[in-house]
Structure 1
């Protein structure tokens, strides 16, 4: 097979005010032989995101930069990129993040999939420069991820690391999206990936995951993905309700989606309570809660989680100040490391 024949992946990067990091993201995608095209959507940036992306271009002509004059959100940006792309396989890369060498080859080598994802290494900016060396090499161990496992992997439980499986960045086959008329829900600014993958699984998508780690995700406190509005939570649990209206779901699938809907709705009720307290004071917040007694448990649980999170954050900041930054954390359990 010729090198040209293996170039069948379109890498999509939706970016807003990412001038400091996007060149690294673009360069990492260009370095993959399987990359046929890179589409950067500058989603209404007020900085030099587009020129920074262009600075990473090589002489292959694979980089296409499109600018939205106003911010439309990652779902709209990705939908537009998919519409103008040509490649049969689609890969999503966040503008803060980057591919580790050989990522795409490991993924496309997995047989029989509509979606295929690998492990993610979370790190801070200090660890990025040496990530290619520091990130472990693990046996792929491909396995199917079914709808129930996917949704359960997105539900946080008190005392347990929060559900993060929706953060996975799978490759997607264009044919599957077209056949089932699937696109990102542009009303969502939070959980748009989760919603698309869930709707695909409900349509019978074969979603495989491997433990090999080829995606580096930079964790920073001021990232756009790390913040959301109360309204975003409402739209996300309403998206679950739309999927639940599909009568073709099995009883097990419907039950787990209802659990996720209650989980997100509980987070919404907590945030709504805090919004009312901030805007109208404690009496207004208590009056709101008295009118919605079903929300009391979610609000109380959210307040407790906030307090424990502040304690964990304080401890993390102390460790960072002591010089313990630059450590890696894997999304999937990291096991069977190769020598």
Structure 2
């Protein structure tokens, strides 16, 4: 019986894909399959994967006929999977030794539908490594419900990189199938967040392990760092719909958390729109974002202050990298 299906969506990932697959192949203590979904790469990604697959029967290449984006690639992998657990792995990340065995064991003991671990954030620029959840922040496995998940997606100055939307949980395949849950294929940003919310709303039992078994490469050209106003507006609409539902059902604590999270998204939305229009030399449109609401000016100023250290660092490094891809950036 296949216990885990490791799904690796990949697009132009020739620089990383061999090491990423190796980290999955080296997992011990569980039977697994590794499905690499090539989203119509234009480099040698597919050829590298095909060569690995010829020497290890656990590895297979699923080549998509056209580029569809991260959600399409992940759904294709889920559709082809045979394992009890679905384990997503981004094409430039890696599993630490023993990750799958540890998480599957926790999931079975807790009868969980989802089980995740802490992330080891690896900065591509300076090479630093640190866990997303600081040592001592979580001392034992704990459950996550919808309120906790939303709360941990609200940025805080003391923990700017702590965001549960970045977690990479193992998910029971039969839970996803039973509830008809898949990635939204119209979404290219925060697609993980949307799926996790849908799972929790469907009653998923989610447990979090405190150890960082997942190496998450933080790149300056990541989709998680570069969002369009359209991406952010789609997230705003989803959150507003969820807020309306929480208010209708009388869930005051959840509604309060959603309002806080929505304000964070609004801050990013107005700032992105304002700065993009300034860069495009469209001052009237920029002012439209700046004065779009009673608090948009304040939100733009707050996000500007938050972004300043990153802007200065990029300037010192010679400017912005306009190429590359990250996190199935198809």
Q: CA deviation at 1:92?
A: 0.5
Q: CA deviation at 1:283?
A: 4.4
Alpha-carbon distance in 1 for matches of 2:291, 2:252: 34
Q: CA deviation at 1:82?
A: 0.8
Preserved CA contact (<8 Å) 1:188 1:232: yes
- Which of 77, 101, 107 is residue 105 of structure 1 equivalent to? 101
In structure 2, the residue matched to 1:141 is: 140
Relative distance call for 1:225 and 1:66 in structure 2 (3 A) is farther
Preserved CA contact (<8 Å) 1:75 1:186: yes
In structure 2, the residue matched to 1:276 is: 277
- Once the two structures are superposed, the pairs formed by residues 130-209 of structure 1 within 5 Å of their partners are 141-158=140-157, 160-209=159-208
In structure 2, the residue matched to 1:266 is: 267
Preserved CA contact (<8 Å) 1:16 1:43: yes
Alpha-carbon distance in 2 for matches of 1:107, 1:127: 30
Q: CA deviation at 1:90?
A: 0.2
Residue-by-residue CA offset, 1:242-296 (whole Å, 9 max, x unaligned): 4345456833223322322232122111111122222343344225534534422
In structure 2, the residue matched to 1:40 is: 36
Preserved CA contact (<8 Å) 1:28 1:98: yes
Q: CA deviation at 1:100?
A: 1.1
In structure 2, the residue matched to 1:26 is: 21
Relative distance call for 1:32 and 1:87 in structure 2 (3 A) is same
User: Normalising by the residue count of structure 2, what TM-score does the alignment of the two structures yield?
Assistant: 0.83
Q: Provide structure 1 residue ranges, at least 5 long, that are not aligned to the other structure.
A: 319-339
Alpha-carbon distance in 2 for matches of 1:226, 1:68: 26
Residue-by-residue CA offset, 1:8-59 (whole Å, 9 max, x unaligned): 1000111111011011111111222424211111112111111122333364
In structure 2, the residue matched to 1:229 is: 228
Relative distance call for 1:141 and 1:157 in structure 2 (3 A) is closer
Relative distance call for 1:167 and 1:291 in structure 2 (3 A) is closer
Q: CA deviation at 1:240?
A: 1.9
Q: Tell me, what secondary structure is at the counterpart of 1:57?
A: helix
Q: How many residues align?
A: 306
Alpha-carbon distance in 1 for matches of 2:21, 2:47: 12
In structure 2, the residue matched to 1:64 is: 60
Alpha-carbon distance in 2 for matches of 1:11, 1:52: 17
Preserved CA contact (<8 Å) 2:270 2:290: no
In structure 2, the residue matched to 1:327 is: none
Alpha-carbon distance in 2 for matches of 1:284, 1:172: 43
Alpha-carbon distance in 1 for matches of 2:152, 2:27: 29
In structure 2, the residue matched to 1:75 is: 71
Q: Tell me, what secondary structure is at the counterpart of 1:186?
A: coil
Alpha-carbon distance in 2 for matches of 1:162, 1:140: 19
- Once the two structures are superposed, the pairs formed by residues 89-100 of structure 1 within 5 Å of their partners are 89-100=85-96
User: Normalising by the residue count of structure 1, what TM-score does the alignment of the two structures yield?
Assistant: 0.81
Q: Tell me, what secondary structure is at the counterpart of 2:52?
A: coil
Relative distance call for 1:296 and 1:13 in structure 2 (3 A) is same
Alpha-carbon distance in 2 for matches of 1:89, 1:219: 26
Preserved CA contact (<8 Å) 1:240 1:261: yes
